[in-house]
Structure 1
Amino acid sequence: MIAEKQRLQDANWKNWGPYVSNRQWGNVREDYSPNGNAWGFANHDRAESYTYRWGEEGIAGISDAKQLLCFGLSFWNKKDKMVKERFFGLSNPQGNHGEDIKELFYYLDNTPTHSYMKMVYKYPINEFPYEDLVTENGKRSKKEPEYEIFDTGIFDNNEYFDIFIEYCKASTDDILVRVEVCNRSGKDAPILVAPTLWFRNNWKWGYNTYKPQLNASYEGCIDIHHDSISIKKFYSRNTHARSVFCENETNTPKLYGAPASENIYFKDGINDHIIRNTDTVNPEKRGTKASFLIDEIIEAGQSKTFEFRLTAHEHDEPFYQFDEIFNIRLAECNEFYADIQHDVTDEDERNVQRQAFAGLLWNKQFYHYNVGKWLKGDPNFDAPRNFNDYVRNTEWNHLHNKDIISMPDKWEYPWYATWDLAFHCVPLSIIDAEFAKGQLLLLTKEWYMHPNGQLPAYEWNLSDVNPPVHAWSCFRVFKIDEKQNGKPDLLFLEKVFQKLLLNFTWWVNRKDKNGNNIFGGGFLGLDNIGAFDRNMILKDGQYLEQADGTSWMAMYALNMMRIAMELAQYYQVYEDMAIKFFEHYLYIAEAMENLGEGTKGLWNEEDGFFYDVLQLGNGESVSLRLRSIVGLIPLFAVEIIDHHLLEKMPNFRERMDWVLKNKPELTKLVSHWDEEGQGRKHLMSILRKNRLTKVLTRMLDEKEFLSSYGIRAMSKVYEENPFVFSVHGNENVVYYTPAESDSRMFGGNSNWRGPIWFPINFLIVESLQRFHFYYGNSLKVEFPTGSGDKKNLDEVAQNISKRLCSIFLKDEDGQRAFNGGNEIFNHNEYFKDYITFYEYFHGDNGRGVGASHQTGWTATVAKLMKPRLTI
């Protein structure tokens, strides 16, 4: 058996991993301000002196699965105002488009058990431009692009270090660390390398008094004392490394002007000692935070390697066979991915896929948030909550998260988001199906899911509503896992189905305002897609009927029906549940057509498109004829059923026959299940053939949605002629904006008014493939619209996939679109093969925008590469 696959059968191999956040400051769970100012309470500059309550941050940080002990790398170029212990970026108020990391690093490799990991960090040789980045971004308007670190000129003349950080495991509790510092410039440059070990502070809050300790053992060795940690020794191969110690305790005199306690060796003691040569480290060489300090000069164009080891046992020769172990683990990593990519022949595609998987795995994080404790404070530290004003998450007292979770991005989004996670799990299931299934189940556990059935959204507002894609992801992961292992994991599917029943019921009870099967939910993850804030409470009894919310629910009903049909093959009781969801789907389809007497439906026949409808207090309605992906989401409500599956479900078939005979007003609204398509298949879709063709005519029009890089979030027709709509006396104007947001709505850090988003595009591709599965060559559409060239829907899906993949792949000139035309990134030998998987992409040129490491849902590109992964 492939070595990495064998390790996946032993959970102990995941005891240690890249579970340390890239940013803990500025998060809700660390906010103990009375006014909810999370960005101001713990900011970047305070972070070096402030001890966190719920988690830790670091550069290339690793920890045990409970994050009791952490390890990370720190550096100093002898010019910066502070040691580089954490990645720098702007807070949300500082950025002209919201929060934004201002560093360059790339995740290059990782295995599911983290037996081998590699990344590279580009650290400037000259003084890091902290003030310049803050000041210039503060000056820029929403109409201007963000001012990035590369724009400062700090990387001119290659004046930076490439710092390659590698980990491998000799065993489950024996971790080897290799750091290679490469001077890319033409001049010698100093650097201090400071590998750092520290305990997460669990002793100061008032729940226990146990305090672990680190202390110097002998030259090049630090002892680790913790009764729950098997690793006991930290070795440095560099014999001239000097060990220094302080405490992971807040520097209260510096931050709050409080009197110094007996302990004066605060968290920032090592930083201050390095920068100012102060006596802020413990001369007795003990504490809860420790570093080896290694001072070096790296000659021009040269490199030096530094090696360390975290291990459970004392070794007479801790670095014996060090390189051999690394070589074995790297070979096993290559073997694992060679098996995954056995049908992918193009080297560039293999590189992009592998870095997509690496980004997914590096973005795992220990996530700890006990809302009940957070709201009331700890025995030793009160929480000054002003409950008369807005306090987040007061309805989620039950929520207690303390797990390893796949993050969207460990700097910009170092907290889980439910609908993001659903997309993460699809590519994750290709490399580690057990982890993917575990993640999907985790969100449905009773200490996550609200007692009323709602899934938590994200920590900034757990009560917000994400699109209900959990059932889709569960079934998708189930089928991938079944194909990989040759047998279905029915226990997983049954467990998650039972919990999703609660969530579906919550949606029906809470988001169907009038009980008419039309669903709202606010922005539904599509922050500023509308003409106005879709979370806004409207006046005079007005409310919004959402085409996307209703379509998501139609998709949800079909997903649940399909899961029930799968389970019914083994347990007949689920046949009745399949019938229930089939009928619910039909009622939603009917509601989309007819919102009630005198009101407009969500479908506009004149435009051949779906729109939101604003219901007025006087009983009239207004169709918001803004063409966006809101009107494309009905494509996702599609399911294809093989005839042989129906033959195994006589009760289901009988009920469908009855509905067809007795409720023709329902069945005429959707593609008829009794009309067998290619290969005796049955189609269930909100879009009949006529409407499907009309929607695709819009979507595949290069003047509207179709970009050279995928499907835009909004029609390009609004670039010159904006959509205008008035509500509450305010005129709302929406332009097509292909990249950065022009609105501060929802913090201004995302934009759904034009860019290309991978999760939506992934669902579009899958939906087209499903339609083709039914229609085959009997349905062809113009592609692009107006070209006269007819293609079947699978050919369309493949072409869209190719456009999406082209964002990352080299074109004939060696350019990668996501780099936005940056010649250094595209052609320099030290950049050209490094990939960043952005949050979203420019609707016209494919430039990466938003969070630069949101590999989570953008990693779905790994499933789209050609030839397609065979799973």
Structure 2
Amino acid sequence: MNAEQQRVNESEDPRAPWRQWGPYVSARQWGTVREDYSADADAWAHFPFDHSHQRAYRWGEDGLAGLCDIDGFLNLGLALWNGRDDRLKERLFGLTNPQGNHGEDAKEYWWALDGTPTHSHAQWLYRYPQAAFPYQELIDGNAARGYDDDEFELSDTGVLQDNRFFDVVVTHAKASPTDIVMEVTATNHGPEAAPLHLVPQLWFRNTWSWGLDDHRPEIVLADGAGEYAEGQVVLEARHHELGRVRLSADGSPRVLFCDNETNFATLYGEEAAPAGHTAYPKDAINRSIVHGEDAGNPEPTGTKAALWWQFDQVGPGESVTVRLRLAASLSHELQQTHEPQLPVLESADEVLATRRREADEFFAEVIPEETSEEDRHIARRAFAGLQWGKQLYLYDVPRWLAGDPAQPPPPPERLDRHTGRNVHWQHVNLAEVISMPDEWEYPWFATWDLAFHTVPLAHVDPAFAKFQLLLMCREWAMHPNGQLPAYEWNFSDVNPPVHPWAAWQVYSIDGNQDRDFLQRIVLKMLLNFPWWVNRKDADGSNIFEGGFLGMDNVGLFDRSDELPGGGRLEQADATAWMGMFCLRMLRMSVELAREDPAWDEVATKFLVHFLAISETMEDTGSDHVSLWDAETSFFQDVLVESDGTAHRMPVRSMVGLLPLTGVAILPNWVAQELPDLTDFLRGWTERRPELQDALLHTNFHGYSIRTLSMISQEQLTSLVGYLLDEEEFLAPHGIRSLSAAHRDGITVRVGGDDLGLRYEPAESRSGMFGGNSNWRGPIWFPVNTMLTDALRIYGRGAGIDLQVEFPSGSGHRRSLTQIATELEQRLVSLFRPGPDGRRPSTPIHHPSGPLWDGHPTFSEYFNGDNGTGLGASHQTGWTAMVAHYICAPDGITNR
């Protein structure tokens, strides 16, 4: 067993020593719901970027390559200055949702280079322009553009021309759980010498300004340490829970001190400052370095400190390096319960070299040996993004709603029972490290995103993957009524119920042994399932009205809002999700029943639900209007208006393909080992022969395969035909979210209005959901994953003998399992270099060349025609699924 795997195995507890420190600092804390105390719930305006360097955060911190303890008390991050910017580069810049012509949009270039599960080794690259950062030009340039225009990007401003930038690489390497080397290396890629200031900063999260905690930590120069030409500068951070943490720096940096508190005089006027406010606020270091003011604390103490290296001229091709070492002690509790793990390394050189070698050894075992070097590189970068995407998430909703004793009371509008954000979720109190969808654009959890993150995470860190799934089901997250929280902007919105699907994937990847995890997730989903049945099946017809379901603008109108003309929307995708929910619960219950017969009856319960949903999918929806359109042989949503009139929405989208996912294979041992389920299935289908359509029998090489399917064999063939048609859903790099047959658009009269929709392969041309994502054509990894998984199940069950044309009309026939593999290879091909060295997934605004082409970018979604990356630029949440395809090229076989 390699050293990192040993650490992972010894660190299954989410608060184990090796997990005590990690890159848990957010890439963006400003503009989040947690920091919004406004009356109108405008989070972007309440805490804008221009306040971020002057105003203390309430619920977290942000920074470049940030490192912190698991409670987020003490943070270590990097600041930079090129001698031209109007402020220190302390955090990544981007546009707010209203500023961007396609919603919120990061305007920087950075990449996660490496990351192990215990954060024993982590590496991160930031590309820093040598010219003044064009903040206002980026804001103005995008303001002048509309939905039909591309975004105006940093590369469009010309500041990166001739490679006039520094590549700044930050490496973390742990000598022990609480002894961490931080190395910063900056390389000038431009044609001329340029100045650079490297300014690592150590600071405490502000916990003392809110009237809830009288403990005030401090950072001081360590006893006996000072500024020496030869030697070290040592800072000591003192905290009532962390104890004493030392940060040593090689060389002779200048040390600056201030406090992590708001600059009231600048932001609000001196008269607004509370009694006892600091004279050396959060931006004092910025003013000292950038503006030459004597703004820091003249005494060597504060709650924020900086180590300032100034390099007047870094020549072309030259690099400069600084090193720091953070040393803390394990808490008394951990000292008592955990033995030292692996030898403590001595020199920084030894630490960096050893941990890099161990990271290589770890991933050599995770990624199959036969994998090409390029695919290995892609997978490792995807895993790195997942590790850097872990962020400490603090959000106590009742405290947030009520406000803090030492602060002005929040506006009463925040508590309005009808309009107040998250007012119905006052049980939520989270203080955990959570995998974020995107470290800048989505620095908050989304439950269905998170479920997909856990699948690639399970290949490297199954304990963390399981913890993430269970966390969303705990009493401080799941609503008492059983609903899972959607995302912080609106916990009450509805995400697809993919938790059971993800749990089964994680269980299978982890070796099919952790029945304790399986039992815990099934028990929690037994609470979630009734919420769906009671809240999202209005007339008890087994047709579901899920609403939003994560697919922002896939339809003619916003499915979260009140529908045009009233009424309700009976959804093919919501009903499909529920069918799949039933089947995964059935499959997990069957697995548990092998050792505990009580689960046999639970499996029967979900079989009953599945058969009822399947029958309805086969038969009719409201007023005898079926979700299945016999004319087009495709599933569609049905709009039931307030007067009871019902008609289909004539749209061919991912909504109509998702019924494919309602499939599972009943293992052959069920007949012998689970008598309740077996007897029920036999008797029920005899009494209700119409339900037999959902049980597809296949005889293959002498043994029977029983497949439960939401759709008939004829519907399967039709849907697969659409899916594999290049004029419909099949794209060069995956499956589109809307059929390309809608390139010319369609118009439907709904509620007295003419509503239109057309295939849009790239950025959204609609303002629905702020225009920050598009489901009207692009390729999205999560639904592609579920479709290929379903094709494999069909290919091993009811469709084992089925050969279909791939692509449709080509005359080339393949089995469904072969097609699933080829579709996943199309998705992987997004990240493989083309003949010119450029990867199809590279966003259009990224320049080409040796300094750019080696870095895969994991976008939120991809152009439905050519694969170009779109949306959020670091979505190594669900887009990290590419690593799953590489590590499990034949899928997970335990169905």
TM-score range with shorter-chain normalisation? Answer: over 0.9
Aligned equivalents of 2:143, 2:495: Cα separation in 1: 31
1:709 match: 733
Check conservation: 2:859, 2:871, Cα contact below 8 A: yes
Partner of 2:235: 222
**Cα 1:116/1:539, change in 2 over 3 Å:** closer
Aligned to 2:144: 139
- 1:290 alignment partner in structure 2: 305
CA–CA distance in 2 between the matches of 1:641 and 1:566? 10
CA offset at residue 255 of structure 1?
1.1
**Per the alignment, in what secondary structure is the counterpart of residue 877 of structure 2?**
helix
CA drift of 1:312 comes to 3.0
- Give distance in 1, aligned partners of 2:328 and 2:675: 60
Cα 1:607–1:198 shift into 2, 3 Å: same
Q: Deviations over 1:616-650 (max 9, x none)?
A: 23333111110000000001111012212332112
8 Å CA contact 2:696, 2:709 repeated in 1: no
Give yes or no for contact 1:237–1:319 (8 Å, CA) kept in 2.
Answer: no
- The aligned residue for residue 385 of structure 1 is 412
Task: Tell me which residue corresponds to 2:374.
Answer: 348
Aligned-pair CA distance for 1:229: 1.5
Once the two structures are TM-superposed, the CA of residue 766 in structure 1 deviates from its matched residue by 0.7
Q: How many Å separate the matches in 2 of 1:597 and 1:524?
A: 21
Compared CA separation, residues 867 and 659, structure 1 to 2 (3 A): closer
Deviation, 1:264, is: 1.0
For 1:539 and 1:869, locate their aligned partners in 2 and report how far apart those are by CA, in whole Å: 45
User: Which secondary structure does the structure 1 equivalent of 2:685 belong to?
Assistant: helix
Is the 1:343–1:867 Cα contact (8 Å) retained in structure 2? no
The equivalent residue for 1:593 is 618
How has the CA–CA distance of structure 1 residues 378 and 757 changed in structure 2, closer, same or farther, with 3 Å as cutoff? Answer: same
Tell me the CA shift for residue 814 of structure 1: 2.0
Q: Does 1:834 align with 2:852?
A: no
Shift of 1:730: 2.2
Report whether the alignment pairs 1:469 with 2:498: yes
Q: Does 1:271 align with 2:306?
A: no
Cα 1:695–1:674 change in 2 (3 A) is: closer
Q: How does 1:101-116 map to 2 (within 5 A)?
A: 101-116=106-121
Q: Does 1:308 align with 2:324?
A: yes
Is 2:341 the counterpart of 1:326? no
Q: Note if 1:409 corresponds to 2:438.
A: yes
2:184 aligned with 1:179, yes or no?
yes
**Alignment check: 8 A CA contact 2:156 2:845 kept:** no
Confirm or deny: 8 A CA contact 2:840 2:867 kept in the other structure: yes
Name the CA distance, whole Å, in 2 between partners of 1:232 and 1:654: 64
SS of 2:878's equivalent in the other structure is: helix
RMSD of the alignment, in Å?
Answer: 1.7
> 1: distance between equivalents of 2:268 and 2:620?
58
- Which has the higher mean CA deviation after the structures are superposed, 532-541 or 50-59? 532-541
Pairing 1:845-856 to 2, within 5 Å after superposition: 845-856=866-877
CA distance, structure 1, for counterparts of residue 670 and residue 62 of structure 2: 50
Is the 1:493–1:563 contact (alpha carbons within 8 Å) kept by the matching residues of 2? Answer: yes
Distance 1:100 1:734 in 2: 24
Q: Secondary structure at the match of 1:855?
A: coil
Counterpart amino acid of 1:469? V
Q: Find the aligned partners of 2:799 and 2:424 in 1 and give their Cα distance.
A: 49
Query: 1:242-284 CA distances to partner (integer Å, 9 max, x unpaired)?
Result: 1000001111111111335552100111111111111220000
> Are the equivalent residues in 1 in contact too, given 2:438–2:877 (CA < 8 A)?
yes
2:336 match: none
| Offset of residue 474 of structure 1 | 0.8
SS of residue in 2 equivalent to 1:264: coil
For 1:768 and 1:820, the matched residues in 2 are separated by 30
> Shift of residue 536 of structure 1?
2.3
SS in 1 for 2:401: helix
Corresponding residue number in structure 1 for 2:4: 4
- Which residue in the other structure is 2:255 paired with? 243
Task: Give the alignment's TM-score, normalised by structure 1.
Answer: 0.96
Query: 1:535: how far off?
Result: 1.6
Percent sequence identity over aligned pairs: 44
> Residues 344 and 350 of structure 1 are in contact (CA less than 8 Å); yes or no, is this contact kept in structure 2?
no
Residue 246 of structure 2 is aligned to residue 233 of structure 1: yes
Deviation sequence 1:668-720 (CA, Å, 0-9, x none):
3x2x2455456532101112211100011111110010000100000111112
Q: Determine whether 1:635 maps to 2:698.
A: no
1:231 is displaced (CA, Å) by: 5.2
- Aligned with 2:474 (options 435, 445, 451): 445
Note the 1:122-201 alignment, pairs <5 A.
122-201=127-206
Tell me, in whole angstroms, the C-alpha distance in 2 between the residues paired with 1:272 and 1:184. 28
Matched, 1:617 2:617: no
1:784 equivalent to 2:822? Answer no
Which residue is equivalent to 1:423?
452
Once residues 817 and 384 of structure 1 are traced to their aligned partners in structure 2, the CA distance between those partners, rounded to angstroms, is 48
The equivalent position to 1:795 in structure 2, one of 818, 826, 829, is 818
- Cα pair distance change 1:609/1:110, threshold 3 Å: same
> 8 Å contact 1:343–1:869 — kept in the other structure?
no
1:795 offset after TM fit, Å? 1.4
Residue type of the alignment partner of 2:730: L
2:618–2:711 Cα contact (<8 Å) kept:
no
Q: Map residues 541-552 of structure 1 onto 2, 5 A cutoff.
A: 542-552=567-577
Kindly state the Cα deviation for residue 594 of structure 1 after the two structures are TM-superposed.
Answer: 3.3
Q: Is the 8 A contact 1:174 1:231 kept in 2?
A: no
Q: 2:779 aligns with which of 747, 756, 763?
A: 756
Q: Distance in 2 between matches of 1:509 and 1:254?
A: 53
Pair 1:726 & 2:749 matched = yes
Paired residue for 1:696, among 698, 720, 741?
A: 720
Which residue identity lines up with residue 7 of structure 2 in the other structure?
A: R
Deviation at 1:230, TM superposition (A): 4.8
Q: Which moved more, 1:38-47 or 1:533-542?
A: 533-542
User: Helix, strand or coil for the counterpart of 2:614?
Assistant: helix
Partner AA of 1:258 in structure 2: E
CA distance in 2, matches of 1:866, 1:436: 16
Q: Give the corresponding residue for 1:862.
A: 883
Alignment TM-score, normalising by the size of structure 2: 0.94
The amino acid across from 1:343 in the alignment is E
Secondary structure of the corresponding residue to residue 203 of structure 1: coil
Give, in whole Å, the separation in 1 of the partners of 2:831 and 2:621: 47
Secondary structure in 1 matching 2:691: helix
- Per-residue CA distance 1:519-557 (angstroms, 9 max, x = gap): 112111001000111122136652110000011000001
1:436-835 equivalences in 2 (<5 Å) = 436-482=465-511, 488-538=513-563, 542-595=567-620, 598-668=623-693, 670=694, 672-676=695-699, 679-720=703-744, 722-775=745-798, 778-820=801-843, 824-825=847-848, 828-835=849-856
Opposite residue 69 of structure 2, the aligned amino acid is D
Cα deviation, residue 867, structure 1? 7.3
Q: Match of 1:628, as an amino acid?
A: S
Shift of 1:824: 3.6
What SS does the aligned partner of 1:250 have? Answer: coil
Partners of 2:839 and 2:856 within 8 A in 1: no
Distance 1:547 1:435 in 2: 33
Structure 2: where are the runs of 5+ without partners? 227-232, 330-343
Q: Work out whether residues 698 and 798 of structure 2, in 8 Å CA contact, stay in contact via their aligned partners in 1.
A: no
Q: Are 2:423 and 1:399 equivalent residues in the alignment?
A: no
Counterpart of 1:569, as a letter, is R
Kindly provide the amino acid, as one letter, of the partner of residue 213 in structure 1: E
Between Structure 1 and Structure 2, how many residues are aligned? Answer: 858
Q: Distance in 1 between matches of 2:424 and 2:660?
A: 34
Counterpart position of 2:339: none
- 1:508–1:867 CA distance, 2 compared to 1 (3 A): closer
Contact 2:794–2:800 under 8 Å retained in 1: no
Deviation per residue, 1:164-206 (Å, 9 max, x gap): 1000000111110101010001111101110000001111111
Question: 1:863·1:869 contact (CA, 8 Å) conserved in 2?
Answer: no
8 A Cα contact 1:215 1:223, kept in partner: yes
Q: Select between 380-389 and 75-84 the one with higher mean Cα deviation.
A: 380-389
For structure 1, the 5+ residue unaligned runs are none
Q: For the residues of structure 2 that align with 1:356 and 1:370, how far apart are their CA atoms? A: 31
Q: Distance in 1 between matches of 2:113 and 2:394?
A: 27
